[in-house]
């Protein structure tokens, strides 16, 4: 059978056709050329405007020309895939019910939202503080994931500076705290969709940090944009990274930006790898509404909270609700 008519190829084309159908493509997720942030001030101002508009209307966008080489991105996906292909003996070293462990592997999450995935989660910034805890197998894991983590941290700093300026905050707002802040990597392995199973790999949720930057090997991410409140499939554009707003950026912006509800759908053509990099302040640092965005006409809408507060919230969240909902001030 010719490769172009194989079942896998046909399924993949059907998937992409669905993801890029007219109803999707006419309202496609914004794609931002990040390299234009380094141009002249007028061009930078236009890019910042585009980013903030995407944050307000969609809660997400994709970035290209971000400066991370294709080889580093490919290497990270390869290292993740090779880890999940290891024997159970190697992976179970990191199995734990303690969500505060610096490295944790599991085949079913205790967060109430995972349905069909295995994952490896660990911290990454600053790299020299955390890499010693990472898996030693596959042998290239620390090198490939480390290179990727450093580059993604750089991109997150660029994006946060642009977003915060777009909100009217001063240049380099929170820069020092962000540079020393938390970077949390979640490597996810989703099985190929079987018609006997639920097609949902990860139930609808929002992330807790400022930004999540996602690299995916194939389509499977769906988002619920703020502007129309319906599920939209996100194509896996070669070389692009997907960015979405987290709960703590909703708090910092005093509700001007809203965290994105998203989910993972199992791919009918193949198993899928994704690497989510979640960025925020250090574990003990509380995120509050920026005082510059609070006044008589815009009262404070959220209580302050830290990453540790989020971890405390998880075990009590028997009926899943979004963390940011627990932070809203009654009557505000």
What pLDDT digit, counting tens, does each position of 51-67 carry? Answer: 999 999 999 999 999 99
Mean pLDDT of the region 8-25: 37
Q: Evaluate the omega torsion of the peptide bond into residue 138 and state whether it is cis, within 30 degrees of 0.
A: yes
Q: How many CA atoms within 13 Å lie on the side-chain side of 18?
A: 16
- Could you report the per-residue pLDDT of 223-253, keeping only the tens digit for each? 999 888 889 999 999 999 999 999 999 999 9
Residues sharing a CB contact under 8 Å with residue 7, sequence separation 6 or more, in sequence order: none
Q: What is the pLDDT of residue 114?
A: 59
Q: How far is CA 258 from CA 143, 150, 234, in A?
A: 35, 27, 19
- Could you report the per-residue pLDDT of 251-305, keeping only the tens digit for each? 999 999 999 999 999 988 889 999 999 999 999 999 999 999 999 999 999 999 9
Contacts 24+ apart (CB under 8 A), 216-219: 216/242, 216/272, 216/273, 216/274, 216/275, 217/77, 217/81, 217/272, 217/273, 217/274, 218/12, 218/267, 218/269, 218/270, 218/272, 219/15, 219/16, 219/19, 219/267, 219/272
Distance between CA 183 and CA 281 in Å, rounded?
A: 9
Bridge-based pairing of strands 103-106 and 261-265 is unpaired
Reported confidence tier of residue 194, pLDDT bands at 50, 70, 90:
confident
Q: What percent of the chain has pLDDT over 90?
A: 73
With beta carbons less than 8 A apart as the criterion, state whether 242 and 262 touch: no
Whether pLDDT at 116 is above 80: no
């Amino acid at each position: 059978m010719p490769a172009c008519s194989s079942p896998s190829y046909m399924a993949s084309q059907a998937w992409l056709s669905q993801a890029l159908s007219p109803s999707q493509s006419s309202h496609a997720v914004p794609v931002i050329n990040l390299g234009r942030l380094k141009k002249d001030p007028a061009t930078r101002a236009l890019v910042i405007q585009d980013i903030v508009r995407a944050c307000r209307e969609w809660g997400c966008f994709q970035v290209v020309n971000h400066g991370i080489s294709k080889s580093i991105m490919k290497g990270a996906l390869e290292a993740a895939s090779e880890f999940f292909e290891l024997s159970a003996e190697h992976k179970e070293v990191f199995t734990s019910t303690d969500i505060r462990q610096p490295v944790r592997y599991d085949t079913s999450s205790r967060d109430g939202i995972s349905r069909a995935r295995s994952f490896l989660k660990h911290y990454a910034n600053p790299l020299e503080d955390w890499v010693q805890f990472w898996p030693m197998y596959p042998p290239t894991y620390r090198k490939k994931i480390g290179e990727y983590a450093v580059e993604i941290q750089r991109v997150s700093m660029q994006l946060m500076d642009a977003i915060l300026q777009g909100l009217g905050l001063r240049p380099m707002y929170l820069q020092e705290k962000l540079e020393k802040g938390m970077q949390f990597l979640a490597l996810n392995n989703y099985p190929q969709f079987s018609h006997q199973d639920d097609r949902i790999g990860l139930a609808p949720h929002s992330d807790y940090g400022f930004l999540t930057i996602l690299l995916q090997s194939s389509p499977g991410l769906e988002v619920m944009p703020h502007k129309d409140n319906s599920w939209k499939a996100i194509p896996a554009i070669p070389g692009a990274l997907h960015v979405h707003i987290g709960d703590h950026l909703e708090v910092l912006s005093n509700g001007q930006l809203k965290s994105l509800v998203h989910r993972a759908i199992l791919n009918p053509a193949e198993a899928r790898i994704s690497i989510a990099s979640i960025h925020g302040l250090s574990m003990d640092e509380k995120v509050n509404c920026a005082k510059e965005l609070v006044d008589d006409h815009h009262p404070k809408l959220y209580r302050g909270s830290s990453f540790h507060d989020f971890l405390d919230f998880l075990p009590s969240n028997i009926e899943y609700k979004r963390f940011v909902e627990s932070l809203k001030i009654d009557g505000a």
